[in-house]
Structure 1
Amino acid sequence: MDQVRQEKARRTRGRLLEAGAELFDRSGYAGATLGEIAAAAGVTKGALYFHFTSKEELAGAVFAQAERSLRAACGSRRTATSPLQALIDAGHWLADALGSDPLIRAAFRLGREGDWQCTGGSGPGSGAGPASDSGAGPGSGPAPGSGPGSTDPHGFHGFHGFHGVWAGITGDLLAAARRAGELRGRPDAPGPGPDTLVVTAACGLEVVLADGCPPEERARRVGALWDWLLPCLVPPGAVGGYRTGPPALGPA
């Protein structure tokens, strides 16, 4: 019986995360209410409060789940190929996720909105006082995404929220590519110019791909970005060793 209850609770929590992501993506943090989220998940408001004590806690859980998905996707690609190819493939994964996964879209929107974020921290999180159902102010829960990688170890201080998470992952993969000798220049002498260019371009994918374009167009845009970037990053003659299209279109 305990296992049955645990499985039911797990499914309910999953539905709440999905419904919360859909509403946060559609209406923003302030516009989404707990009543609407509970109704969309097919549960009572009391059941919602059993899993999440506030709207901020639910938003933090959405953000954290999206971060776990992004890190898992990038990690699996990094172990299967070179760091630079993994970065290219991660961009294609993100393009697909922006079209199909409301958790990823919601995390980007939550990261852009400042009414629930901690202005003094490295990621979205706690403010002063509990959040109301109407989203009138920031809450007091722990900062989602405040673990390793949510800080800014590469010095890209202009990126915050989920863009900051993605920028950190991009910087990590670039640093690994440099250590592996994939990039121009000495492995121990990173240049801020190329890194800043790549991270800025990668973070801009969320804006460029947010217009509802079809999957084929998303893949084309990501591939076109890397067709331009690769000759600036890798030694002469090495461009042909990388695939700029999505993994399904060619060998890794």
Structure 2
Amino acid sequence: MLRAAAEKFEANGYSGTRLQDIVAGRNLSKGALYFHFPSKKHLAAAIISEQADLWARLLAELRERHPRAIHLLPALLCRAAAQHSEDVMARASTRLAIERDRIGEEIPPLFASWTDLLQRLLAEAKEQGDLRPEVDPRSTAELIVATFTGLCQTPAGGAARVDFKHHLTQMWKLLLPGLATPECLADLEAAPRSAL
């Protein structure tokens, strides 16, 4: 049910999706849908909730391979982009989170949880001596989440999907020199590309 709804929400957005669109052509009845989700709003909230801890799960998987937080940042965004490209649930949850004001307050604050996670990671990088002293973890986290979210919603040049790898590489080329200490930046540049 959630995947069927995610396909419609991704394609048409919250306002453009009706519950009858979700069940049409599927082995689902509107009654069965209402049994599990009393409204379209509850269905949207469930899709976002399914993805709310995605970045935390990805971070936990990457942590062992990347003990330094500064290395985790690009690796995490790369994995999140891959998930977004491959999984309709991830794409639908991002679109629904962008449309949160139209849906209502019951919708989990997806972008706030991403920002909080990145803020903690940036603060950890600062404690490890890898970030410049003037870097503010909160505003940097907000910038990274806004950039990632923008990429999710803006296919370049009319393409069906965004070339996340290219755009994230460009983002890190621009951001890292302003974030990382000169010593850390030299280490990052010397690291094999596969490490990041």
Q: What TM-score does the superposition give when structure 2 sets the normalisation length?
A: 0.82
1:169 is matched by which residue type in structure 2?
A: L
1: distance between equivalents of 2:78 and 2:91?
15
The residue correspondences of 1:1-252 to structure 2 (distance < 5 A) are 16-39=1-24, 41-81=26-66, 82-113=68-99, 114-118=101-105, 125=106, 143-144=107-108, 161-185=109-133, 191-192=135-136, 195-209=138-152, 210-211=154-155, 212=159, 217-242=163-188, 250-251=194-195
- The Cα shift of 1:108 comes to 1.9
- Which protein has greater RCO, CA pairs closer than 8 Å, 6+ apart? 2
2:130 is matched by which residue type in structure 1?
A: E
1:75–1:41 Cα change, 3 Å = farther
1:65–1:41 Cα change, 3 Å = farther
- The Cα shift of 1:182 comes to 1.8
2:60 is matched by which residue type in structure 1?
A: G
Which consecutive unaligned segments of at least 5 residues does structure 1 have? 1-15, 119-124, 126-142, 145-160
RMSD: 2.7
* Bigger share in helix: 2
CA deviation vs aligned residue, 1:26-83 (integer Å, no higher than 9, x gap): 1111211111112354311122122222211111110011113232112322343122
Question: Percent identity, aligned pairs only?
Answer: 26
1:191–1:111 Cα change, 3 Å = same
The count of aligned residue pairs is 190
1: distance between equivalents of 2:111 and 2:39?
24
Which consecutive unaligned segments of at least 5 residues does structure 2 have? none
